[in-house]
Amino acid sequence: MCYPQNNCIYGGEVYKHKEVVQFDVAENSVSAVKMNDGSTVSGTTFISNLDPKTTLKMVGVDKFRKSYFNRIDSLEGVISAFSLYIVFKPETFKYRNHNYYHFTSSDHIWTSQEYDEASWPKAFMASMSTTKKTDVWADGMTFITYIKFDDLMLWEQTFNTTSEKEDRGESYETFKERKAEKFLQTIELKFPGFRNCIKSVHASTPLSYRDYIGGYKGNMYGYEKDSNNPMKSFIASKTKLNNLYLTGQSINMHGVLGVTIGAVVTCSEILGKEYLVNKINSSLE
């Protein structure tokens, strides 16, 4: 049944602020998922978009072959990100309708993930936004650079989101301020005069990405892949359980486009590839 209060789309229901905490399994099939508020959703087919390590733990280690569980559990996440969100003073910073991929030196194109305190950040991506009223002035700008989860190990045990607040402590705030200042200095070299345009600065770390998105160690693109051993990180969308399927950035391909293609692959497992591809093609005619 589709209730309007649950953002009903194409006969489906979307729930907000509902965290899945457990999969109920009987006779090699998932019967329901439990939320952290105690509610339950039952169904006949389940597709999990969570980080696969988390899905397997929520289903139960004993429900999978030990070698399969251990292989996935041993995979390392790719690097995470430190981001700055800048709000500009009105009409101070010119809007450019494109992104920037900036490296502080041409040597850093292949090595921006390897840094120390002095050389960080070696690269960043920048994108800006404007208001509907103008395309001359930017109202905000986002900067993203690589950072290792290990740099945040001191606060690994904390969890903080807007719906589940926890103070990570003064040392965390000091760390963020130090990193933000270093990042701003690097940005200023690319955009001279940039700092005079700033109204406010907000920052997020791998802990923010981990706590909001649920990815292992706040990774940006799923698990590390090895071109010499592609099967090591290969995770099929169909699981050993009769009605449990996986999708998302650690299955098939990562990135915004990658997960869309991955979703088609997962749905093909359920509906049949020919049927689904024909249906997509006919909707484009």
Binding site for ligand FAD (CB under 6 A): 19-20, 49-50, 81, 83, 144, 209, 213-214, 220-221, 248-249, 254-257, 259
Q: Beta strand 29-35 with 20-26: parallel, antiparallel or unpaired?
A: antiparallel
CA nearest neighbour of 108 among 94, 119, 117: 119
Burial class from Cβ neighbours inside 10 Å (0-12, 13-18, 19+) for residue 163 reads exposed
CB of 180 to ligand FAD, least distance (A): 15
Smallest gap from Cβ 43 to ligand FAD, in A, equals 15
Residue with smaller CB distance to ligand FAD, 130 or 252:
252
- Least Å from the CB of residue 19 to ligand FAD: 4
Smallest distance, ligand FAD to C-beta of residue 84, A: 11
DSSP per residue, 176-208: HHHHHHHHHHHHHHHSTTGGGGEEEEEEE-HHH
C-alpha distances (whole Å) from 101 to each of 20, 108, 123, 190, 256 are: 36, 12, 7, 11, 17
- Give the tokens for residue 154: 């001191």
Q: Is the dihedral of CA 106, 110, 115, 120 positive or negative?
A: positive
Closest CB to ligand FAD among residues 81, 187: 81
220 or 235: CB nearest ligand FAD: 220
Q: Which is nearer to ligand FAD, 59 or 259 (CB)?
A: 259
Cβ proximity to ligand FAD: between 239 and 249 the closer is 249
Give the shortest CB-40-to-ligand FAD separation in angstroms.
Answer: 13
